[in-house]
A and B are shown apart, each in its own frame.
Chain A
Amino acid sequence: GEDVEQSLFLSVREGDSSVINCTYTDSSSTYLYWYKQEPGAGLQLLTYIFSNMDMKQDQRLTVLLNKKDKHLSLRIADTQTGDSAIYFCAESGNDKIIFGKGTRLHILP
């Protein structure tokens, strides 16, 4: 069945770039998403990319999509303490959305 996988934990120094990676299996995915979950809150959409795009940039966020390898990444430039959260990769197509288990981003001082 379809699956979305991502590493569970990432530590980054404040001011450095964070790169969170994700792989998915469903080749019919139409949209891919990054959601952010801050402590004590629900998930919130951070950004998304349409499957015919390779890259999307939005201020400090860069999303890269390699459709051939079914690999999605989220780069956060100049990581700040407020970026500390769990980041979920998700993919949708055919009326279904599948989330990864989430990557917990820890910011080191």
Chain B
Amino acid sequence: DSGVTQTPKHLITATGQRVTLRCSPRSGDLSVYWYQQSLDQGLQFLIQYYNGEERAKGNILERFSAQQFPDLHSELNLSSLELGDSALYFCASSIDGGQYNEQFFGPGTRLTVL
């Protein structure tokens, strides 16, 4: 158990809908990262937050947004969903975003868009 929790574990929804994925980092970790994993694209970095502020942005679509709250939990919002958004979404946390950056991954949320 990494100490990172993600809810829900599975999500099935229809195209055009909007969903919110939730992540609670390990106790004491200030950084939260979101990743998308699909068979064809592999692991794609989406976005990083550090202590409530956006720190780095990766291949995140404009239809996707995220935030980190004062209690350090984070939410990833996916809107106008398309079939191609079906994937495993991972949240990871680390103490800070420094040079040694061991990340602790949650179990993931499997999103299926029908």
Contacts and interface: CB of A to CB of B under 8 A. Distances in A.
B25 interface: no
Interface string A1-43: 0000000000000000000000000000011010000001111
- Among A42, A93, A95, chain B packs the most CB atoms within 10 A around the CB of A42
Contact of B99 (A30, A41, A101): A30
Contact of A44 (B43, B105, B108): B105
A80 to B, nearest CB: 23
Contacts of A31: 99-101
B42 interface: yes
Interface stretch (B13-21, B62-70, B90-98): B90-98
Contacts of A94: 99
Interface size class of A (residues with CB under 8 A): 20 to 34
B27 interface: no
Contacts of B33: 97
A41 B107 contact: yes
A96 B100 contact: no
Interface residues of B, number: 23
A97 B105 contact: no
A47 to B, nearest CB: 11
Given A31-B99, A95-B97, A100-B42, 10 more contacts: A30-B100, A42-B90, A43-B43, A43-B90, A45-B102, A92-B100, A95-B99, A97-B103, A99-B35, A102-B42
27 contacts: A30-B99, A31-B100, A31-B101, A42-B90, A42-B92, A42-B105, A42-B108, A43-B43, A43-B90, A43-B105, A44-B2, A44-B105, A45-B103, A92-B99, A92-B100, A92-B101, A95-B97, A96-B56, A96-B97, A97-B33, A97-B101, A98-B45, A99-B35, A99-B43, A99-B45, A100-B43, A101-B43
Nearest first, the 10 closest Cβ-Cβ pairs linking A and B are A101-B42, A42-B105, A92-B101, A30-B99, A43-B105, A95-B97, A97-B101, A99-B43, A45-B102, A31-B100
